[in-house]
């Protein structure tokens, strides 16, 4: 029994999801003729109260398409220093959009209206790049699954509105935040100019992300997706997995959050575990101290068929997801207690 806590991307499609995929009706989506893709795109847009959405192979692509849509070469994107769009997308903002980045030091990946306000360049100063986009991440990946307070997001929107900045949400794990905070997709649809969600993380599909926005944005996004090489043909087999996920795998995220808190409670008892970031959703990031290193701990757990990641010289990350069963959780807690 292997317990894979490296990421929630390691999930395999369930039998029910595979059945939905097998029986999907498909067509050529580059021609707009795949009924399963069209269905998923409409379903997601409707959930968020937005006009349209576009199905893409990855969250990196949906983020990068959004950034490309919202910027001109030489512009500046404002985001937290831990942001996936900056740290983990291969320098894509520079490569794809020829834009620079203003990194803010937020709190576990979350930035504030005040920080953003103070970082906007004077648009009449020719020395400065043109601040044109703010990108938020909810939940934050390398901030340990932290969630934004919605009141702060409203304040951020106000700042963006005043300064004519677009506002993008990297919502790779937005559904974890919605479930944890009792929020709705429509609240987010009302605020953001674009929203990226991953179907292949906590929602458990093998592949796929969606970019959501108004008709105009998604029309632009369709062209850029093609340029990026992301136009897919009979993608309905994958879209059917996404529809299944949106219809079945959202509420159950609560269980992943409970499991993550249980793991944290077991870890905190250990003298070689230092600070654990507050566990708000399905990510546990903790320090390893006292003559034990993250690498050593990862190796030790591997002996018990438990996989997790050393994400820095001092930190280990564990992520819970729908393939972590109650039985696995029990074993994991026992192994931690016996360490
Ligand atoms: C996983 C992730 C993405 C997208 O990743 P892909 O592997 O390209 O789908 C984007 N943002 C965050 C915060 C993520 O965790």
- Output the CA torsion sign for 161, 93, 82, 282: positive
- Average pLDDT score over the chain: 97
Q: Is 179 exposed, middle or buried (0-12, 13-18, 19+ CB in 10 A)?
A: buried
Report how far Cα 291 is from the mean position of its chain's Cα atoms: 34
pLDDT above 90 (res 291)? no
321: domain range?
3-9+252-338
Distance CA 285, CA 280 (A): 11
Q: How many CB atoms lie within 10 A of CB 69?
A: 23
Instruction: CATH number of the domain at 28, please.
Output: 3.40.640.10
For residues 113 and 176, state if they share a domain.
yes
Of the three residues 225, 248, 271, the one that is the final residue of a domain is 248
Average pLDDT over residues 96-104: 98
Instruction: CATH number of the domain at 293, please.
Output: 3.90.1150.10
- Residue 103 pLDDT grade (very low, low, confident, very high; cuts 50, 70, 90): very high
Ligand 1 centroid to residue 84 C-alpha, Å: 7
**Beta strands 100-104 and 75-80: pairing type?**
parallel
Beta bridge partners of 104: 80
Ligand 1 centroid to residue 208 C-alpha, Å: 10
For residues 57 and 97, state if they share a domain.
yes
Distance CA 336, CA 96 (A): 44
pTM: 0.97
Atom of ligand 1 nearest to the CA of 89: 8
For residues 172 and 137, state if they share a domain.
yes
Atom of ligand 1 nearest to the CA of 137: 13
pLDDT above 90 (res 91)? yes
For residues 212 and 323, state if they share a domain.
no
Average pLDDT over residues 236-255: 98
DSSP 309: E
Of the three residues 218, 248, 278, the one that is the final residue of a domain is 248
For residues 238 and 261, state if they share a domain.
no
Ligand 1 centroid to residue 90 C-alpha, Å: 12
Average pLDDT over residues 251-265: 98
- Residue 202 pLDDT grade (very low, low, confident, very high; cuts 50, 70, 90): very high
CB-defined site of ligand 1, < 6 Å:
58-60, 63, 84, 137, 141, 170, 172, 198, 200-201, 209
- Residue 146 pLDDT grade (very low, low, confident, very high; cuts 50, 70, 90): very high
Ligand 1 centroid to residue 127 C-alpha, Å: 33
For residues 204 and 319, state if they share a domain.
no
For residues 234 and 269, state if they share a domain.
no
For residues 161 and 268, state if they share a domain.
no
Mutation test residue for ligand 1: of 62, 86, 145, 201, the one with most atoms within 8 Å of CB: 201
Which pLDDT score is estimated for 268? Answer: 96
For residues 219 and 267, state if they share a domain.
no
Return the structure tokens found at 214: 């108004």
Atom of ligand 1 nearest to the CA of 209: 9
Of 212, 197, 241, which is closest to residue 45 (Cα–Cα)?
A: 212
Return the structure tokens found at 199: 């179907």
For residues 269 and 221, state if they share a domain.
no
Distance CA 229, CA 30 (A): 11
pLDDT above 90 (res 289)? yes
Mutation test residue for ligand 1: of 8, 64, 142, 172, the one with most atoms within 8 Å of CB: 172
Return the structure tokens found at 275: 């600070």
How many domains, the chain?
2
Mutation test residue for ligand 1: of 88, 110, 205, the one with most atoms within 8 Å of CB: 88
Average pLDDT over residues 60-71: 98
Ligand 1 centroid to residue 154 C-alpha, Å: 24
Nearest protein CA to atom 6 of ligand 1, as residue: 59
For residues 270 and 244, state if they share a domain.
no
- Residue 57 pLDDT grade (very low, low, confident, very high; cuts 50, 70, 90): very high
Mutation test residue for ligand 1: of 176, 177, 198, the one with most atoms within 8 Å of CB: 198
Phi, psi of 71 (to 5 degrees): -125, 165
For residues 233 and 260, state if they share a domain.
no
pLDDT above 90 (res 247)? yes
Of the three residues 248, 264, 295, the one that is the final residue of a domain is 248
């Amino acid at each position: 029994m292997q317990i894979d806590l490296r990421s929630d991307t390691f999930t395999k499609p369930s039998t029910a999801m595979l059945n939905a995929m097998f029986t999907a009706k498909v067509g050529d989506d580059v021609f707009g003729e795949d009924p399963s893709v069209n269905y998923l795109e409409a379903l997601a847009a409707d959930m968020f109260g937005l006009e349209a959405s576009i199905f893409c192979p990855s969250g990196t692509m949906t983020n990068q398409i959004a950034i490309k849509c919202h910027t001109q070469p030489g512009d500046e994107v404002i985001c937290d220093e831990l942001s996936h769009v900056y740290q983990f997308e291969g320098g894509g903002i520079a490569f794809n959009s020829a834009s620079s980045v203003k990194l803010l030091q937020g709190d576990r990946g979350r930035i504030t209206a005040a920080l953003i306000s103070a970082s906007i360049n004077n648009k009449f100063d020719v020395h400065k790049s043109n601040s044109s986009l703010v990108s938020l991440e909810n939940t934050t990946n390398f901030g340990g699954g932290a969630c934004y307070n919605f009141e702060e997001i409203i304040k951020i929107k106000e700042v963006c509105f005043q300064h004519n900045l677009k506002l993008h949400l990297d919502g790779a794990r937005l559904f974890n935040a919605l479930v944890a905070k009792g929020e709705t997709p429509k609240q987010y649809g009302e605020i953001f100019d674009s929203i990226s969600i991953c179907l292949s993380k906590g929602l458990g599909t093998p592949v796929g992300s969606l970019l959501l926005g108004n008709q105009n944005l998604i029309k632009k996004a369709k062209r850029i997706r093609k340029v990026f090489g992301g136009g897919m043909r009979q993608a309905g087999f994958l879209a059917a997995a996404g529809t299944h996920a949106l219809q079945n795998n959202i509420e159950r995220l609560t269980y992943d959050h409970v499991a993550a808190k249980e793991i944290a409670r077991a870890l905190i008892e250990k003298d070689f575990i230092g600070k654990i970031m507050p566990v708000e959703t399905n990510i546990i990031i903790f320090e390893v101290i006292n003559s034990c290193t993250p690498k050593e701990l990862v190796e030790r757990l591997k002996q018990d068929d438990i996989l997790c990641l050393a994400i820095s010289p001092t930190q280990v990350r564990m992520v819970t997801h729908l393939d972590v069963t109650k039985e696995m959780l029990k074993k994991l807690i026992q192994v931690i207690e016996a360490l």
